[in-house]
Amino acid sequence: MPFLMLLAFIGIPLLEIAVFIQVGGLIGLGATLVLVVLTAIAGTLLLRAQGLSTLGRARASLDRGEVPVREVFDGACLLVGGALLLTPGFVTDTLGFLLLLPPFRGFVLERLKRSGHLHVQTMGGFGTAPGGGPGPGRPPQGGPGPVIEGEYEDVGPPRPTRWSGVGPADDAGETRDTDADADRS
């Protein structure tokens, strides 16, 4: 593995230089530099849109109690793709743009699953129990017991009346008639 990393750190820049020379010979130095800057800007805009979309899908998966495996994989691909797009060069930009395409990410994910190089483990807290309730480690929302849906209006404390006996207590512990007090003032 260290040999592959060394080869990548040496081979990729050499490949990028060779492609720069070829493209620069075809379209000129100025156009080549403008093209590199434009791919970085376009990649950044695409990365932002894809990232926000992936984050929304991950939240929706978590709300459903599912493990967001696809969304985490997409996020990792977007991170690598964004780094490749910000690296100047046509080869890295091509790889970065490929990682921004959802069909390509799906293809890579399926290949990893089939090859056995992708393993997902959870530590509880996701999914649902066989009866349809929350899975282990995930308390029901709103606490234990049945959920009763409805609407309510907060009307405040009850208004004391002369006959209700409800009202502020005086020093002797007896209730006063607050309506009568209000009439006297």
pLDDT digits (tens, 9 = 90+) for 43-69: 888 888 888 888 899 999 888 888 888
* Section 68-94 average pLDDT: 89
| DSSP secondary structure letter of residue 158 | P
- The token pair that represents 108 in the structure block: 């890579």
Cβ proximity of 70 and 109 under 8 Å: yes
**Model pLDDT, residue 31:** 93
Residue 156 maps to a domain: no
Residue 175 maps to a domain: no
**Model pLDDT, residue 151:** 80
Give the three-state DSSP class for 175: strand
Residue 142 maps to a domain: no
User: pTM of the full predicted structure?
Assistant: 0.59
Q: Using CA atoms, how far apart are residues 184 and 100, in angstroms rounded to an integer?
A: 77
Range of the domain at 104: 8-115
**Model pLDDT, residue 118:** 73
- Domain total of the chain: 1
What pLDDT band is residue 7 in, cutting at 50, 70 and 90?
confident
Residue 160 maps to a domain: no
